[in-house]
Amino acid sequence: MSQVPVTEGVFTWPSDSPQLIGSRCVACGNHMFPVQQGCPKCTAAETEEVLLGRRGTLWTWTVQGFPPKAPPYAGNVDPKTFEAFGVGYVELPGQLKVESRLTEADPEKLRIGMEMELVIVPLSKDSDGNEIVTFAFAPVA
């Protein structure tokens, strides 16, 4: 069974140390995620691709307690076996805050300011039996 990313161009994969792919404004240095053309900060049109940092701190979080509507959601939506998952914004120093799934879903174990690291997690299987993977942040042990 092979692993395929949920999309191309959002994170580096396959990789031993995956990174999110963003943009940096050539004029003002502002960071953006995902890749985009045009800078919302200074209105310059030119941006360049940049790999974002793998570690940051949790800025805020919630727990997705019910199955999202599918589509668009590609993960498990069976109410009997659905497992809540964490969602948060992780502040990457000197860059920006990125929204992400979290590997931890227990409110007792999540706190604003904790150290987080990028990981790749399984989401679902496609019709060929491949495992579809997406990115998440995990607490640093």
Partner 1 sequence: MSTEVAIVGIGMHEFGRTDGVSGMDQGVVAVRRACADAGVNWEDIQFAFGGSMAAGAADTMVSLLGLTGLQFINVANGCATGGSALFSAYNTIRSGVFDLGIAIGFDKHERGAFRVNTKGGGLGDWYGASGLALTTQFFGMKINRYMHEYGITQSTLAKVSEKAFRNGSMNPMAWRRKPISEEEVINSPMLSYPLTQYMFCSPGEGGVALILARADKAHLYTDKPIYLRAAVVRSRRFGSFEVLAPSIALEHNAGPTVDASKAAFEMAGMGPKDMDLAQLQDTESGAEVMHMAENGFCEHGEQEFMIQAGDTEIGGKFPVNTDGGCLANGEPVGASGLRQVYENVLQLRGQAGARQVPNDPKTAYTHVYGAPGISGVTILSR
Residue 41 interacting with Zn ion (CB under 5 A)? yes
- The tokens describing 132, both together, are 């579809």
3-state secondary structure 47-69: EEEEECCCEEEEEEEEEECCCCC
Considering the complex, what minimum distance in angstroms separates the CB of residue 16 from partner 1?
Answer: 21
- Cβ proximity to Zn ion, 49 vs 131, nearer residue: 49
The β-bridge relationship of strands 3-5 and 131-139 is: parallel
Query: Which has the closest alpha carbon to 116: 140, 132, 94, 134?
Result: 140
- Cβ proximity to Zn ion, 30 vs 76, nearer residue: 30
Residues numbered 41-70 forming contacts with partner 1, rule: CB under 8 A: 41, 59-66, 68-69
Residues numbered 5-34 forming contacts with Zn ion, rule: CB under 5 A: 25, 27-28, 30
| Strand order through the sheet with 47-51 | 31-32, 21-25, 47-51
Considering the complex, what minimum distance in angstroms separates the CB of residue 29 from Zn ion?
Answer: 7
Chain positions contacting partner 1, by CB under 8 A: 6-7, 10, 22, 30-34, 40-41, 59-66, 68-69, 71-75, 85, 87-89, 91, 94-101, 107, 112, 123, 132, 134-135
